[in-house]
Structure 1
Amino acid sequence: MNSRLIGALTVVVACSAVLFGCTDADTDTDKSGSVETTAPSSIPDSSVKAEAITTDLEAPTVVLGAADGTLLVAERAGNVRRIDPKNPDRSSTVLDITSDVGDLSGEKGLLGLATSPNDDELYVSYTRAADGASVIKTFPLGADGVATASGREMLVVPQPFSNHNGGNLAVDADGLLWLGLGDGGAGGDPYGNGQNPATLLGSMLRIRPTLDGDEPYQIPDDNPFSDGTTPNGSKAAPEAWAYGLRNPWRFTFDSATGDLWIADVGQGEWEEINHVAADDGLGEGANFGWNHREGTHPYTDDPDPADAPGDMVDPVFDYSHSDGRCSVTGGVVVRNAPGLPNLDGVYLWADLCEGRLHGLRPDADGEVTDLDLGAEVPGITSFGTAADGEVYAVSVDQNQLWRLTQAG
């Protein structure tokens, strides 16, 4: 375990990597010859400025827009706060599960948030104090927007190590809950979880929450492995939608197209961003390649390179750890944002260590151009979109909530 993974949220360091597993102790990080897949383009009318609107957060991990125009911000220790971006000095506590989270060693903590389509349930993803397992829990939200009762456990996934927990949550247009889980941690995927569709680790999960009855969730009939097997008859997890991921820290759905964007944190050389189109199956049953590949490149410590399948899905973009980069933070697709009129349809992303905003602009053929958006925000852990379309980000380096708008 790299020491950066232990102390980044108590003492700000270059990588702030405690949440991401951006480099593991057993990985060679001297990769100075690597270069980006695509050099970033700087387009003047796409430049962005970042305005800090609150600075009293404590290790924020998620920012999520609520239907009433407020923002929900998760703090790593287990608090969820509601902040009005028009009056950010006023905030309230929505949920406090600090006693459930407890242990913050490695990359543990409160890692994911989502709300039900009616905004009456709050879904949270966190690592459990007792054993480090990943827990998905749902809490009813009262009329005052505060979580009520003790919540209901939906899913518990044992974690063999304290890193690569993933944990991002999102609800799609059909009300299905998606969860991204890392490969279980350590370095190099020692248990081969990424290439094992029978485990929930290293996968994108897709379930239908049920608020009544004995079962906390259902398996959608159109999940690719809903019968518990792959097309070739081997065992598979019915909850899994896709696999072959190392640590899908952040993913998002395009509100206009339904496309899915997954930013997968790399090992020691390459970071990757995956894009699967809704009108092309949304990556159903896809194998994204880890641990045979890191980005589009063969993984240097692949235990069995000859066994790599031929149908692995390529990322739409990858970049190297040159120039001080270390860990990708996936963002959101800008849609009808009043403050970002020139970036409509652009997918925002950042690197945790580089601290500079980027955007991927897709063309009609599915190719992307990487835009250097100019703004510098160190240690971004999450992007979020408010109900009015405005885009925000949170960072751990300065414990701030940022509003992103067009510069000039």
Structure 2
Amino acid sequence: MRAWTYLLVILTFCLTACGGGGGSPGTGGTPLPNPNPGATTGALVVAATGLPAGVNASVRVTGPNNYQQDLTASQTLSGLAAGSYSVAAAPVTAGGVTYTPTPATQSAVVTAGGSVTATVAYGGATVSVSLSEVVTNLNNPTWLTAPAGDARLFVLERAGRIRVVENGNLLSAPFLDISGRVFTGGEGGLLSMAFDPQYARNGYFYIYFTDPQQNIVIERFTAGSNPNLADATSSLVILRIPHPNFTNHFGGQVAFGPDGFLYLGPGDGGGAGDPNGNGQNLNSLLGKLLRIDVSAATAVQPYTIPASNPFRNQAGRRAEIWAAGLRNPWRFSFDGSLLYLSDVGQDRREEVNIAAADAAGANYGWNTMEGTLCYNAATCDRSGLVLPVFEYDHGSNDTNGCSITGGFVYRGRAMPELAGRYFYSDYCRGFLKSFLATGGSITEQRDWNVSGIGNVVSFGQDGQGELYLMSSRGSVYKIGRTPTP
């Protein structure tokens, strides 16, 4: 009798300890009956397969009671409330290869006292992108943008015209033409525009250009009753920055940040080496990143100073300044809570600075520093200066480039495996390159081997987050996946 009792105890223990389940991709597994009626929680085993060593998976598990857990490898999640869980996996890219998960989404039912397995199988394929020409015969295109969700493209021509591309056709009538009052000498011209975050409601957009006196001008206009024509009489000058003496280093970018404020990046005033010392002069708006509030702009008060600007109410310092120490920030962009700010170098280095969008008062070093090098000196005082996260040397005879053209972090839908990659080019070399910035490190540097497009003037982003680049040859190219033969 005692032997039978002992045997029943052993069998009960085995059933409790060894209960589990399995399944095939797409179903999340079939849970076994609850082997422990007293249990109130269960377990989910997420198995990620097919990735080489050192490459992280990208899996998110969600479920009852607002449960959410992000996983980078196979893992057992225990203590889960009984119910249905969603296991969603995203593609990951490493070494030029994209690993696609199968299935991308599946369900797994966790039972109290039970265990269920969801398998995510990754398969690799080489990523390849190419350029497709979408607009030709433009007069020196400098910028491309669109309101969020809008299918049109708005392309700027340096002479002072904004052109509209609708359904693949370049409309003959410009959206706006201010060519009669734009200075196009040197590096001047109509250089960028930004749609107001409330454009759908107020119709406001802002342009950055140089006037006949070589001033940098930020001006607001309003869309007309015809959505493809702006109201040319609606001009409101927001800011005019004197830029005497030289015809280079006007900067050129205007953009709204995630905080709703307007940012702009004037260059240092021109000349070689910042002869007027504007980059480090906090009483000058040149060689800076500026931040202003235009939400209640009027002719009497076209902008106000945000309360969190670092030099607000400080004597001898311009309150508009958000960051200093820039040479020629031709292009910058925001990616969520991050700012990607490229700065054109002098003789040796091209740089990209990456900072939190709310990091006020950064000094990026020019003209004490050029990238991570002391400028024209064996040593220099680097205290308080922010060094670039990424840079490259010009190389002998500028073999690597001479003037960075900053772009955007990709967040479109057409190529989800490239999400998070920052695309950039160089005016002198016309390449298309990208990198991934994670945890303060630069990884996955990639040359996409495009050619024959001429000097790359600028990148652009449409209303769906897809990326474009503009060539000095008058063409606009869309960056997309290489078609399968």
TM-score, scaled to structure 2? 0.69
CA contact (8 A) 2:434 2:447 kept: yes
Query: What are the within-5 Å matches in structure 2 for residues 196-207 of structure 1?
Result: 196-207=281-292
Which letter maps to 1:114?
A
Alignment-derived partner of residue 333 in structure 2: 252
Match for residue 91 of structure 2? Answer: none
1:287 matches 2:363:
yes
Secondary structure class of the residue paired with 2:417:
helix
How far the C-alpha of 1:72 sits from its partner, in A, is 1.1
Superimposed CA distance per residue, residues 164-184 of structure 1 (whole angstroms, 9 cap, x where no aligned partner): 000200012332110001100
Residue 330 of structure 1 contacts residue 382 of structure 1 at CA under 8 Å; is this kept in 2? yes
Cα deviation for residue 324 of structure 1 reads 5.0
Instruction: Give the match's secondary structure for 1:217.
Output: coil
Give unmatched runs, 5+ long, in structure 2.
1-93, 98-125
Cross-structure match for 1:133: 215
Matches within 5 A, 1:82-161: 82-84=164-166, 86-90=167-171, 92-101=173-182, 103-119=183-199, 120-129=203-212, 131-145=213-227, 146-148=229-231, 149-160=233-244, 161=246
Q: Which secondary structure state, in structure 2, belongs to the residue aligned with residue 99 of structure 1?
A: helix
Structure 1 residue 332: Cα displacement: 0.7
CA deviations 1:134-155 (Å, max 9, x no partner) are: 1111011123232211401111
Offset of 1:366 from its aligned partner? 4.0
1:224 matched to 2:310? The reply is yes
Instruction: For 2:230, give the aligned amino acid.
Output: A
Q: Distance in 2 between matches of 1:61 and 1:365?
A: 31
Question: How far apart, in 2, do the equivalents of 1:111 and 1:89 lie?
Answer: 19
| C-alpha contact (below 8 Å) 1:270/1:294 kept by paired residues | yes
Q: Which residue of 2 aligns with 1:389?
A: 465
Choose the corresponding residue for 1:325, options 393, 401, 419: 401
Matched, 1:178 2:263: yes
Once the 2 structures are TM-superposed, how far is the Cα of residue 219 of structure 1 from its aligned partner?
Answer: 0.4
Unpaired runs of 5+ residues, structure 1, are 1-40, 230-234
Kindly indicate whether the alpha-carbon contact (under 8 Å) linking 2:145 and 2:463 is maintained by their aligned counterparts in 1: no
The 8 Å contact of residues 164 and 170 in structure 2, kept in 1 or not, is answered as no
C-alpha distance 141-354 of structure 1, shift in aligned 2 (>3 A): same
* Range 353-362 or range 378-387, more displaced: 378-387
1:272 alignment counterpart: 351
Tell me by how many angstroms 1:228 deviates.
2.9
Q: Structure 1's 276 and 324: CA in aligned 2 closer, same or farther, altered over 3 A? A: closer
Cα distance in 2, alignment partners of residues 351 and 94 from structure 1: 29
| Counterpart amino acid of residue 197 in structure 2 | P
Q: Distance in 1 between matches of 2:208 and 2:170?
A: 27
Task: Provide the residue aligned with 1:15 in structure 2.
Answer: none
- Checking the alignment, whether the CA contact within 8 Å between 2:95 and 2:444 is kept in structure 1 is no
Aligned residue pairs total 350
Q: CA deviation at 1:92?
A: 4.0
1:60-94 deviation digits (Å, cap 9, x = unpaired): 0111122322111111000011112x423445411
CA contact (8 A) 2:163 2:171 kept: no
Shift of 1:315: 0.5
Match of 2:10 in 1: none
TM-score between both structures, scaled by the size of structure 1: 0.82
The residue correspondences of 1:350-365 to structure 2 (distance < 5 A) are 350-365=425-440
Match of 2:96 in 1: 43
Q: Alignment partner of 2:449: what SS?
A: strand
Q: Match for residue 134 of structure 2?
A: 53
Q: Percent identity?
A: 39
- Cα offsets for 1:304-345 (capped at 9, x unmatched): x65x3401001111111121511000001111x233222100
- Structure 1 pair 365/262, CA: closer, same or farther in 2 (3 Å)? closer
Task: Indicate the structure whose relative CO is greater, using CA pairs within 8 Å and at least 6 residues apart.
Answer: 1
Other-structure match for 2:298 = 212
1:200-253 deviation line (CA, Å, top 9, x unaligned): 000000001133361000100111111135xxxxx2110000000000000000
Kept in 2: contact 1:265–1:271 (CA 8 A): yes
Residue number in structure 2 paired with 1:169: 254
Letter in 2 for 1:43: G
- Contact preservation (8 Å) 2:141, 2:157: yes
* Partner of residue 449 from structure 2, selected from 364, 374, 379: 374
Deviation sequence 1:267-287 (CA, Å, 0-9, x none):
111111110024xxx331000
In 1: Cα distance, 2:450 partner to 2:277 partner: 38
Q: Does 1:195 align with 2:280?
A: yes
Higher strand share goes to which structure?
2
Partner of 1:151, secondary structure, is strand
Pair 1:239 & 2:320 matched: yes
- The CA distance in 1 between the partners of 2:129 and 2:475, in whole Å, is 17
